[in-house]
Chain A
Amino acid sequence: MMGGVYALIAVGLTLIFGVMNVVNFAHGEFVMLGMVLTYLLHHYLGWDPGVSILFVIPIMLGVGALIQKTLISRVIGKPDEAQILLTLALSVLLANAVLLFMGPDYLTVKTPYKLSVVALGPIVFLVPRLIAFIVGLTFSWVLWLFLNRTNLGKGLRAVAEKPEVATLMGINPKRMHWLAFGIGISLAAGAGSVLTPFFYTFPSVGGMFVLIAFVVVVLGGMGNIPGAILGALVIGITESLTAQFLALDLAMLGVFVIFVLVLVFKPSGILGKGKLY
């Protein structure tokens, strides 16, 4: 059931890679920021995560554009190392800034439907997980529609494919970069929002999700959105199967082993590389 959430985190990551050719090592920290924002809105204003997500996404869209403008744009086209290290620094900065202000405690968002379940035939689902799954897949699908059906989305794809030609067509690649980074991280933060009802919120939670998101993105092919969605479902299933049949604490092991195998034998991913649509 985590597959939907992973999909939402991963499509953002793959969008950023596809359009800007930057691997965002700080992606997990934006999931964490989404969780923290949702927690704060719940704690101080009593908002349900379902309402908060409508605020978290636009806020993070702005934050993303700002970060892109001030930081990331400086390393576009630079060597891989500079990009990796800059986003890595951003991730350490965000995680520890939150640690500094919020403390290391595990926070929870209590919702009335926290423990309610629905049965679909023989399988029983926890409601918050089901909601997260559906929201995750829906948002990923909306992103895909946006890229394929709107002019703005087509502009993004154009920049991803051939930046020079896109510029000749009157598309401003800089603006598309802001948009891509903003959308990418706001989706990650949105995933954070839907996670809060059933997942602890703490400053270093991002590290867990960023690794999974990388696995998913590599599995689906870097920059490939349908690939990311498919990869997310595969990883979600692998994780629960390993937990079920091997051992609970080895759940992530299966995921990483798949990751290394894909990297070594088919680094372009199961659906191939470089298609945003």
Chain B
Amino acid sequence: MGRNDPNRASWKRYAPLILAAIVILVPLAVPSRYILRTLVNIFFFAALGCAWNIIGGYAGQLSLGHAAFLAMGAYPTALLLLNLNIPPWLGFIPGVVLASIVAYLLGHLVFRLRGPYLALSTLAFAEILRILLLHFRNQTSGSLGVTIPFKGTSVWKLQFASEQPYYYICLGLLGFCLYVTHRIHNSKMGYYLQAIKENQDAAENLGINLSGNKVKALMMSAALTAMMGGFYVAYFYYIDPDSVAGMDLSIKILLVAIIGGVGTVWGPVVGACILVSLTEISNYLFGGGRAGASLVIYAIILMIVVLFSPRGLIALLPGGLRSYRSE
């Protein structure tokens, strides 16, 4: 039992503080724009992995369509900014609301399904959204995508010429996602989700409201994902249906959480560090043109994780197992 473990070494209590201090000071000490960009990417995917983890990791309901929620956050943010000049830090809110509502409806529709059926229906859900985004090109400009013009540094519109502000924004968002998962991890709901993951029928017999808890978890997960969709718009200035609602992104989100460690607070952070640095290394070694290389490596890592370390790579770190509630 990790939470009340008296054997927890005292340095472990301070380790997070030290880590936080380092992470906060990095942009002041490291002038390299490239390294900061890589770190922002790590934070971004870690936050998405965290959000996925709530429904996919804790509740064990494998979603292959999380990119859809990101798109639901990204499109309203981008269109509001472009057409009505509403800044992203306000514009992401409708997307979050939309994603939560859709998650509520979707959850009631698909959560009676299990295993492969559930995975397939989430996949189909994301594909439906992608096709609709491509089809309504008058509103979304279809496959051309939406480009946000950069008009000089403006705090109001979250447009900055330098990398540091994005670094802190993304770090803050990641912190928020970690805080939410941490709260869930140690709450009644966290135990319910864990029970649902282990055995749905047994959990139901114990009086746990299956669909209620699953839907709640999906809504939280969708809202956080949509929030990151808003950040995506502010940071990358460009969205199109294939890159924000495509299956590649859904799989990448799930990889981050699963490779790092499903159902753990810090697993997605570990996963994001590994995946993003791997992408950078393979781009450096093989050049950007050989785009397949990094995904081949991911796939092999995923196979190894599934076959040999189903709890993710975090379980291999010293003390990593302690972050599991039950052993």
A binding-site residues for B, Cβ under 8 Å: 23, 71, 74-75, 80-86, 88-90, 92-93, 95-100, 104, 203, 207, 211, 214-215, 218, 247, 249-250, 252-253, 256-257, 259-260, 263-264, 267
Contact = CB atoms under 8 A, between A and B. Distances in A.
11 contacts: A75-B307, A80-B114, A86-B303, A89-B300, A98-B292, A100-B292, A203-B292, A247-B135, A252-B131, A259-B124, A260-B110
Interface stretch (B94-102, B115-123, B218-226): B115-123
B295 to A, nearest CB: 4
Contacts, number: 119
A249 B306 contact: no
B125 A92 contact: no
A93 B117 contact: no
Contacts of B112: 264
Given A85-B306, A89-B299, A96-B299, A263 B292 contact: no
Given A95-B295, A96-B292, A99-B291, 16 more contacts: A75-B307, A80-B116, A81-B60, A81-B115, A84-B119, A93-B296, A95-B292, A99-B292, A100-B296, A211-B124, A250-B131, A253-B131, A256-B124, A263-B117, A263-B120, A264-B110
Given A93-B300, A100-B292, A253-B131, A75 B116 contact: no
B133 to A, nearest CB: 11
Nearest to A204: B248
B196 interface: no
Given A89-B299, A264-B110, A75 B131 contact: no
A90 B303 contact: yes
A253 B129 CA distance: 9
A96 B293 CA distance: 7
Interface in B47-80: 60, 62, 64
B54 to A, nearest CB: 16
B290 interface: yes
Question: Which DSSP category, helix, strand, loop or mixed, fits chain B's interface?
Answer: helix
B131 A92 contact: no
B110 A263 contact: yes
B290 to A, nearest CB: 6
B310 A96 contact: no
B132 interface: yes
A93 B124 CA distance: 21
B302 interface: yes
Contacts of A256: 124, 127-128, 131
A156 B112 CA distance: 31
A100 to B, nearest CB: 4
A6 to B, nearest CB: 16
A257 B121 CA distance: 10
B245 to A, nearest CB: 13
Interface string B125-150: 10110011011000000000000000
Contacts of A93: 295-296, 299-300, 303
Given A81-B60, A218-B117, A249-B134, A100 B303 contact: no
Looking at A84, A89, A98, A267, which has the most chain B CB atoms within 10 Å of its CB?
A89
Given A80-B114, A90-B303, A260 B125 contact: yes
Contacts of A89: 299-300, 302-303, 306
B23 interface: no
A92 B302 CA distance: 10
Contacts of B131: 249-250, 252-253, 256
